[in-house]
Amino acid sequence: MTETRNLVQRLPNDIGGLPGDPITRVEHQLEPWEKRCHALADVLDFHKIINTEEKRCGVEALGAEMVGKLTYYERWIVAFANILFRKAILTPEELARKMHEVEVRWLADPLGADLRHT
Amino acid sequence: MNTADEGHDHDDGHAHPHAEIGQSTPPGYYEIMETAVRELLVERKLIGADEIRRQIEVLDSRTPALGAKIVARAWVDPDFKARLLADGRRACEELGISFYDDTGLIVLENTEKVHNLIVCTLCSCYPRPVLGLPPDWYKLKPYRSRAVSEPRAVLAEFGTIIPDDIEIRVSDSTAMVRYLVLPRRPEGTELYSEEQLAALVTRDTMIGVVPATVGSGSAGQ
């Protein structure tokens, strides 16, 4: 009974004050797609399509397992997709079709400049 | 371990340079998702095709050099410092540093009695218009969880020992309110120009994990 109380009282993002490992001062240069993902977040915010708090909530709604296993920008893009589904801006079928199209396009022309750049 | 695996050295996986245009390694699942979401939104005309590219340019233009410029000005100009502490965003805009989002900025002054530290326990909120993107450690669990409950231990891991008679204040950022630490001006810098002072101010001094020193930053001497 008391074990589940923590799950109720703290959602996955709510970690302030919990014990933690020593700090390791890790840093990395963003991958091109990660930077595009960050820019996408900003543009979605400018257009009031997804604001910062909706994004944070969207990441939290992925649940503890995904929050723990996906990298930072992987969490963001999955959260964006879910929020866009919920707002009926996109459907899962449309996204699946487009992802397939993007992949096929890459396989047809791996060095093509148009895949990753708007 | 399987000896056949040991015979191969795959450690060069990270050494492949990123091609300027296109790339020969297959895009991962999440990269494909990013491309697909972006293209669908452009097709629907919900976002403009060139908006992402322009925002990448904005992100690339934001580095800790902007924050350093603000700090150095505050060190040499008491009136500016007063305006900065009263309204961080407006004072930054006064120096020509625009805010591309709706966030407010509160500047926290380190003094002989108070040392400030910033964190975002819930996610990764950060004063991006003046510092650029946060380092990974700022976004990871150890820093986010421990900064608020044992800041002295966290600071010690950055090599920063704060005497017990100095109060430590930890400010937890939100989606709308971001913080920037105004570090103390190092002693012995009375004759420094504003530019020389700015060169002492690193990103980590403005997060509050290390003090500014005459040996820190790009002007280390």
What distance in Å separates the CA atoms of residue B65 and residue B201, rounded to the nearest whole number?
8
Query: Are both B41 and B140 inside the same structural domain?
Result: no
Q: Which element (helix H / strand E) includes A8?
A: helix A2-9
Instruction: Give the pLDDT mean for B148-158.
Output: 98
Query: Are both B107 and B85 inside the same structural domain?
Result: yes
Mark which residues 193-212 of B lie under 8 Å from A by CB: none
pLDDT score recorded for residue B107? 98
Site of tokens 């699942």: B29
Share of chain B above pLDDT 90, in %: 82
Q: Is residue B11 part of a domain?
A: no
Q: Is residue B115 part of a domain?
A: yes
pLDDT mean values, one per 10 residues, chain A (118 residues): 79 91 95 96 96 93 92 97 98 98 90 55
Residues of B in contact with A102 (CB under 8 A): 27, 32, 35-36, 39
What distance in Å separates the CA atoms of residue B195 and residue B81, rounded to the nearest whole number?
16
Specify whether the CB–CB gap between B182 and B84 falls below 8 A: yes
Q: Which of B59, B89, B111 is the last residue of a domain?
A: B59
Specify whether the CB–CB gap between B197 and B212 falls below 8 A: no
Strand-pair partners of B172: B119
Residue B82 has pLDDT above 50, yes or no: yes
Query: Are both B149 and B90 inside the same structural domain?
Result: yes
Residue B14 has pLDDT above 50, yes or no: no
Residue B75: count other Cβ atoms within 10 Å of its Cβ. 23
Residue B90 has pLDDT above 80, yes or no: yes
pLDDT score recorded for residue B25? 81
Query: Are both B135 and B214 inside the same structural domain?
Result: yes
| Least confidently predicted of A102-111, B33-42, B61-70, B161-170 | A102-111
Query: Are both B22 and B39 inside the same structural domain?
Result: yes
Specify whether the CB–CB gap between B80 and B74 falls below 8 A: yes
Contact A103 B172 (CB under 8 A): no
Residue B23 has pLDDT above 90, yes or no: no
Query: Are both B49 and B119 inside the same structural domain?
Result: no
B124 → chain A, closest CA residue: A56
pLDDT score recorded for residue A116? 53
Residue B145 has pLDDT above 60, yes or no: yes
Query: Are both B121 and B100 inside the same structural domain?
Result: yes
Nearest to A40 among B19, B32, B34 (CB): B34
Residues of B in contact with A14 (CB under 8 A): 121-122
What distance in Å separates the CA atoms of residue B84 and residue B81, rounded to the nearest whole number?
5
Q: What is residue B108's three-state secondary structure?
A: strand
pLDDT score recorded for residue A51? 94
B45: left (phi over 0), alpha (psi -120 to 50) or beta: left
Better-scored residue on pLDDT, A8 or B166: B166
Q: Is residue B13 part of a domain?
A: no
Residue B148: count other Cβ atoms within 10 Å of its Cβ. 18
Q: What is the DSSP string of A53-93?
A: HHHHHHHHTT-HHHHHHS-HHHHHHHHHHHHHHHTTSS-HH
pLDDT score recorded for residue A1? 53
pLDDT band at B24 (very low <50, low <70, confident <90, very high): low
Query: Are both B145 and B174 inside the same structural domain?
Result: yes
Strands B167-172 and B114-119: parallel
Contact B146 A118 (CB under 8 A): no
Query: Are both B49 and B89 inside the same structural domain?
Result: no
pLDDT score recorded for residue B6? 36
What is the pLDDT of chain B when averaged over all its residues? 89
Q: What is the DSSP string of A40-56?
A: HHHHHHHTTSS-HHHHH
Contact B122 A13 (CB under 8 A): yes
The boundaries of the domain holding residue B150 are 63-219
Query: Are both B182 and B105 inside the same structural domain?
Result: yes
Site of tokens 């891991």: B157
Residue B178 has pLDDT above 80, yes or no: yes
pLDDT in tens, B44-58: 999 998 999 999 999
Q: Is residue B5 part of a domain?
A: no
pLDDT band at B7 (very low <50, low <70, confident <90, very high): very low
Structure tokens at A67: 């929050």
Domain count, chain B: 2
pLDDT score recorded for residue B66? 98
Q: Is residue B121 part of a domain?
A: yes
Query: Are both B151 and B198 inside the same structural domain?
Result: yes
Q: What CATH number is attached to the domain comprising B84? A: 3.90.330.10
